[in-house]
């Protein structure tokens, strides 16, 4: 499927432990941290990244979002930690992309009652995201979900 060979080892382990027995991975998108162009003061760069590293996995049953915990970002004593979101496919109404020129892409996962989850990706991921959305739409249009 759409997995990228440069997938971070930590996130590969997270992904492996996130899948149910018998669950089939359809597509995965890995997004490394996107740095911002923050100010430099006395040679030190001060910035918050545009987005932290995250992984989106589409399975035959659910969408799994795994992302760095922004509360522990940059703290060397707490280098490992993540936040998992599991969304059953039958709860996703649609997925869309918002693009603004060379700015990062915002992928919206639309849920019932006008609720949404958002993921930020680099512009270079556009084709992979389009393929991911096409795979999601094929699954939604197919036989009734589990």
Assigned token pair, 100 = 């603004």
Q: Are 46 and 87 in contact (CB under 8 A)?
A: no
Q: Which residues contact 139 (CB under 8 A, 6 or more apart)?
A: 26, 58, 60, 89, 145
**Residues of the chain whose pLDDT is less than 50?**
1-6, 71, 75, 77-78
pTM for this prediction = 0.75
Coil, strand or helix at 51: strand
Chain centroid, CA 43 distance in Å: 32
């Amino acid at each position: 499927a759409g997995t990228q060979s440069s997938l971070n080892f930590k996130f590969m382990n997270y992904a492996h432990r996130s899948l149910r027995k018998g669950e089939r991975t359809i597509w995965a998108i890995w997004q490394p941290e996107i740095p911002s162009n923050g100010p430099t003061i006395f040679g030190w760069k001060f910035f918050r990244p545009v987005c932290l590293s995250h992984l989106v996995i589409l399975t035959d049953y659910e969408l799994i979002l795994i992302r760095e915990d922004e509360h522990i970002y940059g703290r060397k004593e707490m280098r490992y930690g993540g936040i998992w979101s599991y969304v059953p496919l039958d709860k996703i109404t649609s997925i869309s992309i918002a693009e603004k020129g060379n700015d990062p892409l915002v992928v919206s996962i639309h849920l019932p009652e006008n609720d949404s989850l958002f993921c930020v990706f680099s512009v270079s991921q556009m084709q992979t995201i389009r393929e991911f959305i096409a795979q999601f739409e094929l699954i939604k249009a197919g036989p009734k979900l589990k």
